[in-house]
């Protein structure tokens, strides 16, 4: 009996099989096809011959297929697909847990730590994950470690021991056993003739899968406009920043593609320089959040088709993404800095904070020299000493106190509505700030900022009444965050 048969999911066999027969790439990462006659599992778009209906079962996660005894197809590499967009759209407990598992929380804090962050007991969370994803937290974390290890083996210069610990394995033996079991190949087989790699220098270059179409140049421009010197840098076709990670600091440099062809998988090139290679998984997941890599752009475009305001914008800029962030605490601070000031003004204040209170990174890289100040540091400052109006300074310190003590978490673990209520309970934090944080820190696909100056200017430019912004946005649900970006994009092009 397979895992899917023991733990029924919402996957409909007939619909899944139609997607497999048509090799529909839109479902890559949404479900996996296991073939009983071969003992392998594939992505829906695998180019191999379509198996007979009675020989296949469908699984909601790679971990579910692995737990049922299937190994990954060497032809289509099913575990290398972008994650399911449902994790951010629905933001159920299972989806929030998957984000934290990808960040390495199970490896660092165990199942109890994961459950605590999501707000459930470990037993109940295991039941939820098994029901919705076909595997428990340990199996899901193991599948993520195996996928990270395979990418590192095939694309980097790291030794096998370094790959093992960078992927989150506790020992080289555990790493070897897992790779053999999941891929029916040894690490040496996966690397092939590229053996004899040099010892690690702490620098890892990876290709991060993103769904297409993907308008990477627009996301780069958004990040570059707001880049804070010392902690961020940008140039023609690239963006870089410092990273505060669980075991140390690091930097990342990104090159993002512009790919118009829909339904494919494209790759963003990310070069990480890390103090501790154990942070590889966390750094990768946080950058993927910033890139909005798991978004389903075809679903977004379909929702806007026929809309007189957003429809033409979606056709003009296919694949526009909502820029996420690598650190929820940082974007929360920057949201407060951006209250009632221009982007340039907020950037100036943020630069002063980094210069005065940012911790130097261990290995500076050009102009990247400091981390953005953490919540504990800002919570210890006096509002009178901050370069902003007194009332905003008090709001900033109160926000950082809540973040530092743990009464407020912005790691995508808690329920989004609970986070919004907690933010609004802080004096000086209003709806614009709370929703901007939800947009960029929590990956919420359905928030809108009707009072934002940029939105009002964009609507005026499109011949719409800004006073009716909130009413207009009701028709753009459940993708109002993307409508927000399309409207902002009109201002960029006018410049």
Question: In the block, which residue shows the tokens 């407060």?
Answer: 336
C-alpha span between 254 and 330 (Å, rounded): 19
Catalytic residue among 42, 46, 73, 295: 42
The secondary element (H helix, E strand) that includes residue 251 is strand 248-255
C-alpha span between 232 and 220 (Å, rounded): 12
CB distance 374 to 410 below 8 Å: no
CB-side exposure of 18: number of CA atoms within 13 Å? 4
Residue 374 falls in the annotated catalytic set: no
Peptide bond into 407 cis (omega under 30): no
Q: Which of 294, 272, 323 is nearest to 99 (CA)?
A: 294
- Three-state secondary-structure class, residue 321: coil
Query: What's the chain's Rg over C-alpha atoms?
Result: 23
- Three-state secondary-structure class, residue 315: helix
The 3-state secondary structure of 400-424 reads HHHHHHCCCCCCCCCCHHHHHHHHH
C-alpha span between 245 and 228 (Å, rounded): 19
Angle at 138 between CA 135 and CA 142, to 5 degrees: 95
CB distance 139 to 63 below 8 Å: yes
Classify the C-alpha dihedral 341-475-293-419 as positive or negative.
Answer: positive
Task: Render 432-487 in DSSP notation, one character per residue.
Answer: HHHHHHHHHTS--SS---TT-HHHHHHHHHTT--GGGHHHHHHTTTT-HHHHHHHH
C-alpha span between 360 and 386 (Å, rounded): 20
Q: How long a stretch of residues is the chain?
A: 495
Q: Which of 376, 324, 415 is nearest to 117 (CA)?
A: 415
CB distance 363 to 345 below 8 Å: no
Classify the C-alpha dihedral 478-482-484-490 as positive or negative.
Answer: negative
Tokens of 184: 């029916």
Classify the C-alpha dihedral 135-139-145-146 as positive or negative.
Answer: negative
Question: What is the separation of C-alpha 388 from the centre of its chain, rounded to a whole number of angstroms?
Answer: 31
What dihedral angle (degrees, nearest 10) is formed by the CA atoms of 441, 444, 447, 453? Answer: 30
Residue 295 falls in the annotated catalytic set: no
Catalytic residue among 79, 103, 374, 452: 452
Task: Give me the active site residues, please.
Answer: 42, 452
């Amino acid at each position: 009996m397979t895992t899917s048969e023991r733990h029924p999911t919402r996957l409909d066999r007939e619909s899944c099989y139609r997607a497999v027969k048509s090799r529909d790439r839109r479902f890559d990462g949404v479900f996996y096809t296991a073939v009983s006659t071969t003992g392998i599992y594939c992505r829906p778009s695998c180019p191999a011959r379509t198996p007979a209906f009675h020989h296949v079962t469908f699984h909601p996660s790679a971990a579910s297929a692995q737990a049922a005894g299937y190994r990954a197809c060497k032809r289509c590499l099913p575990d290398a697909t972008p994650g399911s967009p449902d994790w951010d759209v629905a933001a159920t407990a299972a989806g929030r847990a998957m984000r934290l598992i990808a960040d390495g929380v199970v490896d660092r804090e165990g199942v109890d730590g994961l459950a605590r962050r999501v707000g459930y007991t470990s037993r109940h969370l295991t039941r939820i994950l098994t029901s919705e994803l076909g595997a428990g937290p340990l199996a899901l974390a193991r599948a993520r470690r195996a996928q990270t290890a395979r990418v590192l083996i095939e694309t980097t210069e790291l030794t096998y021991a370094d790959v093992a610990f960078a992927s989150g394995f506790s020992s080289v033996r555990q790493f070897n056993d897992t790779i053999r079991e999941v891929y029916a190949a040894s690490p040496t087989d996966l690397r092939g003739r590229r053996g004899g790699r040099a010892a690690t220098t702490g620098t890892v270059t990876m290709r991060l899968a993103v769904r297409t179409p993907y308008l990477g140049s627009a996301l780069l421009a958004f990040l570059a406009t707001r880049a804070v010197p010392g902690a961020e840098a940008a140039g023609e076709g690239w963006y870089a920043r410092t990273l505060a990670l669980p075991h140390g600091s690091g930097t990342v440099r990104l090159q993002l593609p512009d790919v118009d062809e829909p339904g494919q998988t494209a790759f963003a090139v990310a070069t990480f320089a890390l103090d501790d290679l154990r942070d590889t998984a966390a750094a990768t997941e946080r950058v993927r959040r910033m890139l909005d890599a798991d978004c389903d752009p075809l679903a977004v475009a379909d929702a806007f088709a026929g809309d007189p305001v957003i429809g033409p914008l979606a056709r003009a800029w296919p694949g526009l993404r909502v820029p996420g962030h690598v650190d929820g605490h940082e974007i929360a601070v920057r949201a407060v800095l951006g209250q009632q000031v221009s982007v340039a003004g907020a950037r100036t204040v943020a630069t002063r904070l980094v210069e005065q209170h940012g911790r130097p990174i261990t290995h500076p890289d050009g102009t990247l020299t400091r981390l953005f100040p953490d919540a504990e540091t800002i919570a210890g400052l006096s509002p009178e000493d901050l370069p902003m109006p007194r009332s905003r300074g008090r709001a900033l310190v109160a926000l950082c106190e809540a973040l530092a003590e743990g009464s407020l978490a912005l790691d995508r673990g808690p329920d989004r509505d609970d986070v919004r209520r907690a933010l609004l309970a802080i004096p000086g934090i209003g709806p614009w700030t709370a929703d901007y944080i939800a947009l960029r820190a929590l990956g919420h696909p359905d928030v809108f900022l009707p009072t934002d100056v940029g939105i009002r200017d964009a609507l005026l430019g499109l011949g719409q009444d800004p006073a009716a912004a909130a009413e207009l946005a009701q028709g753009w649900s459940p993708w109002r965050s993307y409508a927000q970006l399309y409207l902002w994009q009109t201002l960029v092009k006018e410049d």
